[in-house]
C-alpha cells in the first residue's frame, strides 16, 4: 500500500506558482527524501501534504484516501510534521507537558499523563524535563520534544523538514539515530526534506531531486552512494556535497 501518493501537484502561494507537475508514490514503511536547493519547492510539498499550503491542484492521497485542501482531522492523525528550527517551533510559554498533551486534548484522547511520560521516554528525554519550558532545553533536546509532539497522535507518517540542519554534527547524529530507531520500532513512513546528501544516505531508501519546483530525478539510495545520477543538476549537487568522483553509467 502506498502511504503518500502525489499526482501532478501544482502548489501556489497567491499568484506565485511554486511547484509544477510533482508526482510521487511513497510506499508504507519507506523513508523517502526530497533534496534540492533553497527555493526549489521541497518544503512547500511537505506543507501541502500537511494542509498548511491549501492552494494546490492535482491530487494528494494519504493511504489511498484523497485529502481535502484544508486541515483534515483524519490526515492529521496519520500524518504529522517536524519542523526545521527547534528554537522556533515549540511554544515558548508552554511547558513541555502542555506542548505534548495539546494534540491529545484536541483529538479528545484520554490518559494524557501516562502517554506524555511514555513518549518522553521513547525519544530519550528524562522525565524531569516534563515540566520545564523550551528555553531551559538545548537545541537537541528541543528537537526531541518536537519529534515527541509529532508522535503523540501515533501517526504512521512523519514529514520531516530539515530536522537536523540547525544542530551540531554530534547532536545531529543523536537525532538521526533516534529517528531511525523510532521508524524501526513504530514502522513509520518518513518523507524528509533536506539538502544534506550524506544524511539521505544514512536515513533514506529513495530520494527525489527537485529544482525550480519540478522533480528532475528520482533515484534509489544505492544510486546516490555511487553517484550514478542521470540528470546534470543531480550530479552537480552530488559533486558539491563532496561525493567521490561519480561512476558514470555509460
Q: Which residues bind another protein (CB under 8 A)?
A: 37-38, 139, 168-170, 172-174, 176-177, 180, 195-199, 201-203, 224-227, 236-244
Nearer to another protein, 152 or 179 (CB): 179
- Contact in structure between 139 and 60 (CB atoms under 8 Å): no
Distance CA 201, CA 10 (A): 28
Task: Name, in order, each residue with C-beta under 8 angstroms of 232's C-beta and a sequence gap of 6 or more.
Answer: none
Q: CB-wise, 159 or 197, nearer to another protein?
A: 197
Q: Could you give the angle at which helices 139-151 and 169-186 cross, rounded to 10 degrees?
A: 20
Instruction: Give min distance, CB of 141 to another protein, in A.
Output: 14
115 or 195: CB nearest another protein: 195
The smaller minimum CB distance to another protein, of residues 90 and 203, is found at: 203
Query: Which residue's CB is nearer to another protein, number 61 or number 196?
Result: 196
Residue 174 C-beta: closest distance to another protein, Å: 5
The minimum distance between CB 153 and another protein, in angstroms, equals 27
Residue (201 or 218) nearer to another protein, CB: 201
The values of phi and psi at residue 26, to 5°, are -115, 120
- Minimum Å gap between C-beta 40 and another protein is 9
Q: Is the dihedral of CA 226, 228, 234, 236 positive or negative?
A: positive
Q: State in angstroms the smallest separation of the CB of 106 from another protein.
A: 34
Instruction: Give the long-range contacts of residues 233-238, CB within 8 A, separation 24 or more.
Output: 233/209, 234/209, 237/35, 237/36, 237/37, 237/197, 237/209, 238/197
At closest approach, how far in Å is the CB of 221 from another protein? 9
Indicate the Cα dihedral angle 105, 108, 111, 116, nearest 10°: -40
CA–CA distance, 43 with 53 (Å, rounded to integer) = 10
Amino acid at each position: 500500500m502506498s502511504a503518500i501518493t502525489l499526482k501532478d501537484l501544482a502548489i501556489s502561494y497567491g499568484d506565485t506558482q511554486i511547484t509544477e507537475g510533482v508526482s510521487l508514490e511513497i510506499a508504507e514503511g519507506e523513508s523517502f527524501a526530497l533534496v534540492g536547493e533553497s527555493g526549489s519547492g521541497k518544503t512547500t510539498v511537505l506543507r501541502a501534504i500537511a494542509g498548511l499550503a491549501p492552494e494546490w491542484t492535482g491530487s494528494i492521497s494519504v493511504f489511498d484516501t484523497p485529502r481535502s485542501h484544508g486541515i483534515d482531522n483524519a490526515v492529521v492523525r496519520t500524518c504529522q510534521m517536524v519542523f526545521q528550527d527547534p528554537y522556533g517551533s515549540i511554544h515558548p510559554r508552554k511547558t513541555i507537558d502542555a506542548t505534548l498533551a495539546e494534540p491529545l486534548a484536541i483529538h479528545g484522547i484520554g490518559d494524557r499523563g501516562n502517554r506524555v511520560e511514555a513518549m518522553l521516554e521513547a525519544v530519550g528525554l528524562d522525565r524531569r524535563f516534563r515540566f520545564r519550558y523550551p528555553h531551559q532545553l538545548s537545541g537537541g533536546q528541543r528537537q526531541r520534544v518536537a519529534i515527541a509532539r509529532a508522535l503523540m497522535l501515533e501517526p504512521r507518517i512523519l514529514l520531516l523538514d530539515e530536522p537536523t540542519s540547525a544542530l551540531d554534527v554530534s547532536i545531529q547524529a543523536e537525532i538521526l539515530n533516534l529517528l531511525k530507531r523510532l521508524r524501526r520500532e513504530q514502522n513509520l513512513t518518513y518523507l524528509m526534506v533536506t539538502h544534506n546528501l550524506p544524511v539521505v544516505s544514512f536515513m533514506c531508501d529513495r530520494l527525489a531531486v527537485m529544482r525550480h519546483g519540478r522533480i528532475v530525478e528520482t533515484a534509489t539510495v544505492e544510486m546516490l552512494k555511487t553517484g550514478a545520477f542521470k540528470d546534470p543538476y543531480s550530479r552537480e549537487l552530488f559533486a558539491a556535497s563532496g561525493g567521490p568522483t561519480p561512476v558514470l553509467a555509460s
